[in-house]
Amino acid sequence: MDIAGSVALVTGSNRGIGRRFVEQLLERGAAKVYATARRPELVDVPGVEVLPLDITDEASVAAAAAAAPDVTLLVNNAGIATTGSLLRGDLADARREMDTHYWGTLSVLRAFAPVVERNGGGAIVNVLSALSWFVYPGSGAYAAAKAAEWNLTNAVRLELAGSGVTVQGCTSGRRTPTSWPGTRGLDPAEVARASLDGVERGVAEVLVDEWSRGVKASLQHEPEAFYQQFA
């Protein structure tokens, strides 16, 4: 689709990858950008329409869909990241991961996919992670939720086939400094740029960096070799 002239909505717009999506959508000529966040007062990008949105709250999702009936491009970026053991850590953290990345994303999709269809079609982007395909110690809850979101993306793509709505999974592997303060890694703007380039080409999957491409390629091999690096 052409991003110029589109009406976009981005979840989790107050920082990191979400903020970079908002900035690049404006730079590429989107007619309107809805920037949403659980704390909308933290959204400080000029030229956007700010909406409150907690994707884990169905009433909040419904209110956002009612306030943004003209959306043609949806970017599901909002997320959380907890750490700890799946077997011995706080079970509430694991539930929050799934409530956010799976159930929350699905709630937004159910609300906005019909909106995009009614507006003549467009595109949906789900911001995923290479942790959809592997796990390292302490990332179990996040990885499980992202794996669920990855196949959710595939399922929704099939359901919307022929509707004029493309569904993209955008996957990156290296940590972004805004998500993990104090680390050096992938520039969040690189994720947004690669994803939006893919939207304009109509591709179903964008693998942003070598790490995500390497992790996906490793799935065709026995897992022992890959997981030796975490021993």
5-49, pLDDT tens digit by residue? 999 999 999 999 999 999 999 999 999 999 999 999 999 999 999
pLDDT of 58 higher than 60: yes
DSSP E strands in the chain: the ranges are 7-10, 32-37, 49-52, 73-76, 122-127, 165-171, 205-207
Residue among 146, 148, 171 nearest 80 (CA): 146
Percent of the chain with pLDDT over 70: 94
| Domain span at 66 | 7-230
With respect to residue 35, please indicate whether it lies within any of the assigned structural domains: yes
With respect to residue 51, please indicate whether it lies within any of the assigned structural domains: yes
With respect to residue 75, please indicate whether it lies within any of the assigned structural domains: yes
Number of domains in the chain: 1
With respect to residue 1, please indicate whether it lies within any of the assigned structural domains: no
Q: Residue 163 sits in a domain of what CATH number?
A: 3.40.50.720
Task: Give the rounded distance of the alpha carbon of 15 from its chain centre.
Answer: 13
pLDDT of 185 higher than 90: no
Which residues on adjacent β-strands are paired with residue 35?
Answer: 10, 50
User: Which one is predicted more confidently, 173 or 114?
Assistant: 114
Q: Looking at the chain, how many residues does it have?
A: 231
Average pLDDT over residues 138-153: 96
Q: What pLDDT score was predicted for residue 174?
A: 61
> 30 and 4 in contact (C-beta within 8 Å)?
yes
Q: What pLDDT score was predicted for residue 228?
A: 87
Q: Are strands 165-171 and 32-37 parallel, antiparallel or unpaired?
A: unpaired
